Structure formats: structure tokens, C-alpha cells
Structure 1
């Protein structure tokens, strides 16, 4: 079973997803981290200070979405520059910034998925949206057309019709800015779950904290992994910190069920999140800020796969104001294993 789980998926019409990949980059060591990288031969090239090119071997496909989270104990963020298929490989270019808007080297966790067709195990979808709302690519697990509607500068309403989860706020979201030149950040302003599906508000900012029209990606998951599959993988989880914690339906652990993950404040702007019993590499963690202001979030350092439990420990999610001051603010965090 393990060998099968680690085999690179080739058919473009396979069950969701067609392709998936992630990488954990250690800037200090100048190398990828094996426990946070899949497929194992994935590599990172430094194009320039703060610019990186990731190659995911065997995972090339048109479309899809990219998410990326900066990992640094000082305020940084990362965004997608672009991504494309190159033969059988997927190439993802990433830009990372420090406060003020200058490109700056940092560690990061990056993620790619491309889905089409089915079968799909549960409510799941994504969009890659242009600033005018035109969709570069999209996926909806019930086959309905997603939409992205501009609401003003740097603001969009994204709808995932038919992705019905059952409550007023269910599941989790990740958003990432896509811009080839300017520093840009996107976050979740809020969302609602209803009998019609998911209704999400996305807002994006430039490095000054001003609202910005930019391309962005958005992924919705409910009782499935961030790449849309479930059982396998058997080990995934997500958590909404509003703060405080959101409703139990936004706190899922694939082993223990709803409400099992925990969050603890460890200082201004720092939150330790524990996902019990899902620490099976290779795994990835992604974070997105939540709320109506220009605050942003990332990871303070690499997550830990504890042998006890085994528990996946995120210590810490770190959040900052646009000026770089630590701040307690909302975020979503998603942890996902290949197993």
C-alpha cells in the first residue's frame, strides 16, 4: 500500500487529483526538506535573491493552482509568479518578500494540484482567477461552474456552487496571490456555507497595505485533503482561527474528527497548532490570513512530525501587521500527508 501511495500519478484522467506535489525549502541549508517534499526528486533553484524556481518531476499538467507559505521568524510572505507544464514536469516560479516590498530570501512551503473529472470524494474545488474575474482554471467536485466576481479594487466574491457541507461555516480555504512583478498578498475576508454551496470573499493587498487588483488562487476543502483526495490520504486536517477558534466544523482531523485539533497562543502574533495523530510524511502545511485588514500570516519555522501520537506540531503560525509588528489575527491552516 505504501509503495502504491508513493507512485507518481501519470494518467490525466485519473481520480482526483490528476497531479499533486509540494516542496519544503530550507533557505539556510540551501536544500529541500525530505519530510515536506513530494515527489522526492522535486528541486528548487534560486533564480535571484527572493526568487525561486521549483520543479515537480512527473507532475506536469495544464492549469491547476499553486499555494505558497513563507517560513521565517521575521515578517515575510511568498506568492506565485507563474507555473506551467514543461514536458512531464511542473515548473513553479515563486517570489518572496520582506516588509516594505523588497524581494528577500526565505524558507517556504509550496504546493501544486491539478484536478479534472472524477470521481471526487467530497466537497472540493479551486479557482485561478484573473483580476477581472475570468478564470484561468477551475475545479468543482460536483461539476458545477465556479465564479469569481470583482467587488471593487482588490476584492472578489468567489462561489463554489453545489459544494454543500451542511452548516453555516464548514471546511477550510487557502488563498495565494499571483503576480510576476509586484509584491502581493491575498487572504480570506470571510465566507459562508449554505445549501447552495460556498460563498467566499477574497481580498488582496500590495506591499504598502493598499488593496490591489491581482491574479489569485483559492482552494476549498471539506473532509478531504487540500489536493482533493481522501482515504487515501488518511492523514490530513485543517483549522480556522478567527480568533478565537472557529466553529467545530472548521476544525477537522481526519483521524479524530471535528474539533480535535488545538491552538495555543505562545506570544504576540504566535499560535501553536497541534494536529493529533496525522504526522505522517511526506506532508505539507499551508497558511492563509483571515479577516478584513492587511495583516498577513506565515510559519515561524518548519512543522514537526512528533513520534508521540504521532502529532503534527506547527510551532508557530506567525502573523504580522503590514508594518511588520506581531499581531493576533485570524488565519486558516491546512496540514496534508501523502499517506
Structure 2
């Protein structure tokens, strides 16, 4: 049924492209997103703060609480339902958020998000959310790829080199993703989010081993008490592009990996996985019990931040509080990581984008 629905969506997208509603691929820079949206959802109902929501085509995002831990976010101008969604909890406690599902809304695109405490108790937690859907190709060094794995097969996929992304299942809770045609070294940024409508689930980057095949990423997922779990998930890869898939616009975006979380800092991560569209030197340092990521020169509202943990264990990472923007400097000064219910040092991928 999902594949039939997906075919219908692609057919509708093709009709929209013919009608001029979705930009067609027109050259080396054609891999801009067809549609995208992001928001910081901090209330049970109503529009998210204007300073932290962006949408293309333009519109006003809304959210509504429908169950004890189910929030429905509506992107009213987005007609497609493939693409990918990522969410990041904003809490200093051992909690997380995951995507339950997404599909047609009234109007536009509806994304359902669930949040949990460690152990599995449902809870409302503020969160950031980003959605994007892309087409076309890109010339290096810029690159974008994503896929949605529904627990059994690839349900949505995109690669800016026109390569065919693939997933190989390993032991329970472990998958190997191959994104062909992309750089054969560890460069760029990754984001991973669990997708499960029925049970608590957390997903992360377990390993990153690019090869001649392209970018090779291991995804690991865990249940409410850190046991390996078979579930669905989304993955995005970007290089010199925003998490929304675009560049110029947005002119202001950055990403980095905290490659050395035990280093007090401030230190500049390797340029292989740290990029700033304004050429500023991204830095990472302690802000105990959190980590502090600074992106200079790109702070323009409205904006979005996403965080994903990196490593083979059950540790998970999020935003311990809202980031700040002052004088074009972005301070993501509360990156929080947990092992069970305890704070821990953990490698993380952090990505920032403006809508501008």
C-alpha cells in the first residue's frame, strides 16, 4: 500500500512540475529542495514561534496536541509526502522525540511526533522539526542525499548524484546505508531520526566508513531501555548544503561534528565535517554538563537546529535548551547527551540553518 501511495505521490509531483508548481531540474545547481519547512514546537497548540519557523512555499506552520504524547505539526503549503523528516528534543532531561508518521494533512503535510522519557513513559517535550523533499542533481563538492527506511524497505530516497541509495539489514537494530556517488572520505554532515508510531524508539549514527562505494553509514536503533530495536528511521547527508537541502538560499547555514567530546575546548573540529557558509571557524567547548557549539557569521532568524548522536552504544543526544543568536553568532550552548538517565560525553552531529 505504501508503494502504491508513493507512486501516486510521484505522479502528482510530476503533474505539478509540468504545471510549474515544483521547480524542475535545470542544471548543476538544480538539487535545491522542491519544498521544505522547519519549526521549534514549544506549545501544545497554535503556531510555533515566528523566530524559529520557516516554510517554502511560504505559509504558517501550526501544531496541535492530540494524545498524551502526540503532537501533529502541519506544513500547510507542502503537497508532497515523500522526502524526509527529522526531529530533535529540546530538554535538559533524559527524554527524546521521534517521528510517528507523516502524510497528507488538511491542508498540506501532517507530521505526527511522539516524545518519551527514558524508560518509555510518554511526555510532552518541546522539539525542533525539519522536513524537505528534493530532486535534480548537483556537481561536487556540494551533495545531498536522504532516505526513509520504514522498517522493512526503503520508502523514500534521494541522491544528488542520481545514485541509488541502498540499505542492508544486519543484526537487530543495525543497518548499513550506502549512498553511492558521494565523496569517498568522511566529509559532510549526518542526521538520523527514529520513525515508529507504536513504540518508543531512538536512532543514531553508529559508524561512518566511506569507501569507493561512496558514503557508507551505519544506523543503530534502540528501545526505551537501550536494547537494540527493529524500527523505521530517516537519514540525511549534506555536504556544503543546509539540512533543508538548499544553498543560497539559504545563505546562512553551518554544521559540525564534535569529534572530541572529552576536549574542554574551545577547539575547531576538522574541516572535513565542519562547514560554515560565512567561512567562520566553528568551535566546540564544554558548558558542563552540556557541550557548546558556536557557529559565527550565520545567525539569521528564522532558524533551526538539529542534533544526532554518533557512536555504537545506546547513548542519545539532543538540545538541552534553545540556542541563541546575537550579532550573527549562533550559540548552541546546551547540546545534551545521555547514557540511560545520566549525562555523558558523546560525539554529535549538529546542524544549523537559517531560512534566509
TM-score computed with the length of structure 1 as normaliser: 0.90
* Matched positions, count: 322
What do the CA deviations read for 1:19-40 (whole angstroms, capped 9, x no partner)? 1001111238976121111135
SS at match of 1:35: helix
Counterpart of 1:276?
A: 296
Distance, in Å, in 2 between the alignment partners of 1:216 and 1:103 is 19
Counterpart of 1:305?
A: 325
What do the CA deviations read for 1:219-251 (whole angstroms, capped 9, x no partner)? 000011112111221111111113347532111
Distance, in Å, in 1 between the alignment partners of 2:44 and 2:155 is 35
What do the CA deviations read for 1:107-161 (whole angstroms, capped 9, x no partner)? 10011111123467821100101323x1100000011100011011000000110
Of the candidates 52, 63, 73, which is equivalent to residue 92 of structure 2?
73
Matches within 5 A, 1:111-260: 111-118=130-137, 122-132=142-152, 134-164=153-183, 168-244=185-261, 246-256=269-279, 260=281
Gaps spanning 5+ residues in structure 1: where?
Answer: 1-8
SS at match of 2:272: helix
Distance, in Å, in 2 between the alignment partners of 1:301 and 1:97 is 17
Cα deviation for residue 283 of structure 1 reads 1.1
Tell whether the 8 Å contact from 2:138 to 2:161 is kept in structure 1 after alignment.
Answer: no
Tell whether the 8 Å contact from 2:82 to 2:156 is kept in structure 1 after alignment.
Answer: yes
Counterpart of 2:5?
A: none
Counterpart of 1:33?
A: 49
Tell whether the 8 Å contact from 2:89 to 2:96 is kept in structure 1 after alignment.
Answer: yes
Tell whether the 8 Å contact from 2:191 to 2:236 is kept in structure 1 after alignment.
Answer: yes
What do the CA deviations read for 1:258-314 (whole angstroms, capped 9, x no partner)? xx111111113x1011100101111110000110111111111111111x2x11111
Q: What value does the CA root-mean-square deviation take over the aligned residues?
A: 2.0
Distance, in Å, in 2 between the alignment partners of 1:313 and 1:198 is 29
Distance, in Å, in 1 between the alignment partners of 2:77 and 2:108 is 5
SS at match of 1:249: coil
Counterpart of 2:108?
A: 89
Tell whether the 8 Å contact from 1:42 to 1:57 is kept in structure 2 after alignment.
Answer: yes
Counterpart of 1:4?
A: none
Distance, in Å, in 2 between the alignment partners of 1:50 and 1:305 is 30
SS at match of 1:152: coil
Counterpart of 2:22?
A: 11
Counterpart of 1:48?
A: 67
Distance, in Å, in 1 between the alignment partners of 2:66 and 2:157 is 29
Is 1:265–2:286 an aligned residue pair? yes
Cα deviation for residue 99 of structure 1 reads 1.3
Cα deviation for residue 89 of structure 1 reads 0.8
Gaps spanning 5+ residues in structure 2: where?
Answer: 1-19, 262-267
Counterpart of 2:350?
A: 333
Distance, in Å, in 2 between the alignment partners of 1:183 and 1:74 is 16
